[in-house]
Chains A and B, each alone.
Chain A
């Protein structure tokens, strides 16, 4: 019996371990790519400079859409921020499904001003959830609108955000080809495609010091936005629209409309790519936001993401893989995204089965303890290392280091919930309902511009800002070569299971012979 359990466990450990290792390889490669791309101080971002006379000149009309659902803690804050932007040609549309005191805030006479105009659209039901509400915003937006920007209610857009989005569109989109257009790094053959959307950085930062959950989630977002997405932008993978802090072409949105999925952002992403468009990402455009503060809130949020994401993958799988409008790299990235929310389960199951196999001391012939350990360690450290690199690239590694430990713990706690929801999305004929994430309005941390000002040598923009070179790096981190250490660790951890596996395989074959 022990032999059977031990052998079965070792094979299952190998299966799950190898499945997760595919993700780990991508995380390590992304970490190396992002660290080698960002922060070398070759150039800095271009701050769009304006004088008072420039406001309103050469500014395409932008419609900002704010989807609300019981946002009494944050409604006033985000509307005020949206009315204080350094841009002369825009409107704000609040699409509201609230059932609480948020309604009273929306009815306040103080929001009535000629420009920028604020429109409120309240529904008595929540059909289509956020996608349905955003569809209403499209219906009532000003016909002059050229671009649509979406912010969730817990975000605080900085004053220059519209100017930055518009500048980025002009520089990345061939249809805006002119003096401003610069070739990008999209090496996947997608650079000729029209840019339909620019996704900015959701800087989950406002309450990062509130508790261990917020610290952990913050580390996770740093890895995702500073490493994973930066790397995807570099190698030309499919980039997701992520629900908030993005700018869309209004003509495209009018034509396609919003879907009714509980992950309407992911669904729209797939539909944009199927139409031959692409999404670009930049960490230079940021809006700070708050972080779910409890495991319960986080689990609910992630379960919705997992279910909706997997449901849309199921729905669009054949169309995406069969489409001639997506590049090979975009399709590969889609395949990587497909079981995205099952990966913590792979890690959890792989680790558990490996422990059982270790206890029983029963392995296949080609197995060696070195291989088992190296695979486990490599898998275990891939995501935390990416989080560390993300925090490092943001510039406050010493302050937020502990968040990575919280992140690891959260990953294991959330994994079963996420996996259940992903399987539900895969197997159920209909999607579930939208579960809202409570926003508290809490702010624990002053929002800094971080080091992002000096990190972008890959976006070769005109620079009027001082460069951040090695001197600045030393000033912040001292002489210890953090970047090199993280890159070396990524390389070693990525190579280790491969080397020990090959070695074990060789030994096993020799032993078996």
Chain B
């Protein structure tokens, strides 16, 4: 189980694994223009992607996500895109609880050899 987000350039990937449910997209204020008519975005049961997010909006979105116990991780775009398309956790290959993130950093709970995901906690939660 885990709740994560990743930024790739100006694109924001929000994603979950295991039994976790994806954040309600309505929690993001309209002014951020993340999941609105004038932005390009996608969502699946496991992932939401907002493309071309303005820098300031990205900062606010990250604050909201951290408040909702989402952890920032680095992941390559191909793996994330594949996860969006297939919804198969084996693509990202890692299940990291958000709360004990520091602990997980020392000793990852489970990492698949197929994983191309690098866990980097940017800020302590």
* A interface residues, Cβ below 8 angstroms from B: 98-100, 103-104, 106-107, 109, 112-114, 117-124, 140-143
A112 touches B21 (CB 8 A): yes
Asked if A119 meets B44 with Cβ closer than 8 Å, knowing A141-B85, A142-B85, the reply is: yes
Q: In residues 100-125 of chain B, which contact A (Cβ within 8 Å)? A: none
CB contacts (< 8 Å) of B21 on chain A: these are: 109, 112
Q: Could you give, for residues 29-65 of chain B, a 1 whenever the CB lies within 8 Å of some chain A CB and a 0 otherwise? A: 0000001111111111100000000000000000000
Of the listed residues B24, B26, B37, B84, the one surrounded by the most CB atoms of chain A closer than 10 A to its CB is: B37
Contact residues, B1-49 vs A (CB, 8 A): 21-22, 24-26, 35-45
Q: In this assembly, does B87 line the interface, its C-beta being within 8 Å of a C-beta of chain A?
A: yes
- Please judge, given known A-B contacts A107-B25, A112-B21, whether A122 and B86 are in contact too, CB under 8 Å: no
Summarize B's interface: helix, strand, loop or mixed.
Answer: loop
- Complex CA–CA separation, A183 to B86 (angstroms): 37
A117 and B44 within 8 A (CB): yes
Contacting pair A123 B40 (CB below 8 A): yes
On chain A, the residues within 8 Å of B44 by CB distance are 117-120
CB-CB under 8 A from A121, the residues of chain B are 42
Contacts A124-B38, A142-B85, A143-B86 given; does A114 touch B43 at CB 8 Å: no
Q: Is the CB of B45 within 8 A of A118?
A: yes
A113 with B45: CB separation less than 8 A: yes
A119 near B42: Cβ-Cβ < 8 Å? yes
List, in ascending order, chain A residues with CB within 8 A of B24's CB: 107, 109
| Contact, CB under 8 Å: A114 / B45 | yes
Nearest chain B CB to A435 CB, angstrom units: 19
CA distance A119 to B22 in the complex (A): 13
Q: List 16 A-B contacts (CB under 8 A).
A: A98-B37, A100-B37, A107-B25, A112-B22, A112-B45, A117-B44, A117-B45, A118-B45, A119-B43, A120-B42, A120-B44, A122-B35, A122-B41, A124-B38, A143-B85, A143-B86
Closest B residue to A114 by CB, please name it: B45
In angstroms, Cα B26 to Cα A104, docked, is 8
Is B86 touching A140 in the complex (CB atoms < 8 A)?
no
Q: How far is the CA of A391 from the CA of B42 in the complex (A)?
A: 43
Closest A residue by C-beta to B16: A112
The answer to whether A122 touches B45, judged by C-beta atoms less than 8 angstroms apart, is no
CB distance from A122 to the nearest CB of B (A): 5
Question: Nearest B residue to A118 by beta-carbon distance?
Answer: B45
A103 to B36, CA, bound (A): 7
Interface string of B66-93 (1 = CB under 8 A from A): 0000000000000000001111000000
